[in-house]
Amino acid sequence: MAPVPDPRPLAGRRVVLGVTGGIAAYKAVELCRRLVDAGAFVSPVMTDGALRFVGATTFSALASEPVRTSLFDDPDPIPHTRLGQGADLVVVAPATARLLADYVAGRSHDLLTATLLATRAPVVVAPAMHTEMWEHPAVQENVATLARRGVVIVPPEEGRLAGGDVGAGRLADPALIAQVVETLLSATAPPVSALVHDLAGLRVLVTAGGTRERIDAVRVISNRSSGKQGYAIAAEAAARGAHVTLVTTVDRPVPEGVAEVVPVESAADMEAAVVPRAPGQDVVVMAAAVADFRPVEPADRKLKKHEGPPVIELEPTHDFLVDLGRDKPAGQVLVGFAAETDDVLANARDKLARKGLDLIVANDVGAPGVGFEHDTNQVVVVSATGIDQDVPLSDKRAVARAVLDAVVAHRGLVAGSPAPPDLTPAEQAKETHP
């Protein structure tokens, strides 16, 4: 009789659970239990600092094998290599500021950091620290660097912390961290970004579709933009916890979670909708294809065919993206799009600089399956910091995910990013726990 397969989601999977020295180490006990209950073989690795908060016996009793704490107190002469090579995934919770800095710099001074450098498995990092440390530009830059390298960051939450303080830095719920692990190890699960609300509390404005400029009462000058990419970005931002405003020229089903939809038609309509709203946004993504020219004098009636071909004089539309770049408030991330057919990157970089953008999404709309009207796209996300990210041909939701990952990474590099606008003074209070 054939054995009955284990139905648990992590059955047969090997997970290294790293625990570092923060007060939130006690929550890693719950994470360990959840991973084991899901079927994972959990190998716990604790730092010396972690042992000051939680005893090794607790994890040894709950995990699949005894705790390891040292590179040298182990019968295996190279425990970090064995752990790294055998892991299907490594998760560090809590991750202190020191762990983040060591991981970025490639320092392997203990068993956990050595294991992180010795693995090619997916890595999940859940930071936890007091608010001043979490918001420090060096820590934010380290987080952004790890995210660019492919590490999945489960950001800390706002809430009550040690000592009665309230602020950012509280370890994410162990149930969420366990769900992220399950998602990464499942081929059929939803994207991790839908679980990790790294845009929670932020206001994001997205434009979508191609503008239409009137020739007469029935005819327009337009382009082939379907709005699919803009709608995918709006859907992804909402899934990641953002308050999303969608300014659109197309009539498509509104993505779940989008807070406000503003229908527009022309470039002037879009300008009137976007410019007054932009100062209150944390992120503005200009995915719409805005017309460069419009008829000077559109007819207020339908022009008749027997009257002969009309002579249409065109004038440039106002490039209000330049205004958005010039007047961009501190901390805001402004994203443009460059649909090109030649010299794609050169034109995109020129547009990025001229218009004061933080990021620009460049694509060759002449390539098969790319850009207008397609369900797929292939882009390069160009950053003002000089870091470019190639996104291969993918469905537009995957491209949206990459664009917003770049936004999150860029925000981490901006010193002094403001707190999300809807927090109360108590919620913005600084936290002081170890």
Helix (H, G, I), strand (E, B) or coil at 211: coil
3-state secondary structure 384-421: CCCCEEEEEEEEHHHHHHHHHHHHHHHHHHCCCCCCCC
For residue 347, indicate whether it is catalytic. Answer: no
Closest CA to 189 of 200, 197, 181: 181
Amino acid at 421: P
Instruction: DSSP for 357-381, please give it.
Output: -SEEEEEETTSTT-STT-SEEEEEE
**Which two three-digit tokens encode residue 326?**
């010039």
Point out the catalytic residue in the list 142, 223, 347, 377: 223
**Which two three-digit tokens encode residue 81?**
């290599």
Closest CA to 153 of 119, 185, 176: 176
148-165: burial string, b at 16+ Cβ within 10 Å, e else: beebbbbbbbbeebeeeb
Closest CA to 62 of 95, 92, 27: 27
**Which residues are registered as beta bridge partners of 339?**
363
**Which two three-digit tokens encode residue 45?**
């690795």
Which sequence positions are flagged as catalytic? 223
